[in-house]
Structure formats: C-alpha cells, structure tokens
C-alpha cells in the first residue's frame, strides 16, 4: 500500500508541468539537478524560485499551443 507521500508524488509526476524534465533535456543535464535548483532557489529567495517555476511553466504551455496551432502557408 503506497503511503500518502508516494501517492502525492505520483500525482504531481503525472499531472505536473514537466518543466524540470524539459529544461534538463534542452540544457543537457539531469532533471533532478534542475528540480533541486528550483527547490534551493525557492528556499533561498523566499518564494522567487516557485514564481519562476510557474512563469516558465506558463511560458512553455503558451509556446506549445502556438507551435501546435501554427500551420504552413504551403499546406493546402
């Protein structure tokens, strides 16, 4: 039987924004390092890391929507 923490972690991994995964892939580093950097930044700057994380998640979501909706002029 999974504990509450394991179920909560699984929920966030399934429905999260995958910001750390995508940043880690594009920068060529492990997502765990990016994730820990956001956590440390959040504690050091009293919440700025979390705000930055949400901003990057929002920006990636908008970028995904723009690139998937864009069609070429030559597609007839």
**Residue 76 in domain:** no
pTM here is 0.67
Domain that holds residue 14: 4-69
Task: Quote the percentage of the chain above a pLDDT of 90.
Answer: 36
The dihedral region occupied by 18, where left means phi > 0, alpha psi between -120 and 50, and beta the remainder, is: left
**Residue 14 in domain:** yes
What is the rounded average pLDDT for all residues in the chain? 84
The tally of domains found in the chain comes to 1
Q: Is residue 73 predicted with pLDDT exceeding 80?
A: no
Q: What is the mean pLDDT of residues 6-29?
A: 85
- Those residues with Cβ within 8 angstroms of residue 20's Cβ, 6 or more apart along the chain or in another chain: 31, 32, 34, 35, 38
């Amino acid at each position: 039987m999974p504990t509450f923490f394991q179920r909560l972690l699984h929920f966030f991994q399934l429905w999260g924004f995958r910001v750390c995964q995508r940043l880690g892939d594009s920068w060529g580093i492990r997502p765990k390092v990016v994730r820990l950097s956001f956590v440390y930044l959040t504690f050091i700057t009293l919440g700025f890391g979390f705000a930055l994380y949400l901003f990057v998640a929002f920006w990636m979501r908008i970028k995904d929507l723009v690139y998937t909706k864009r069609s070429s002029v030559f597609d007839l």
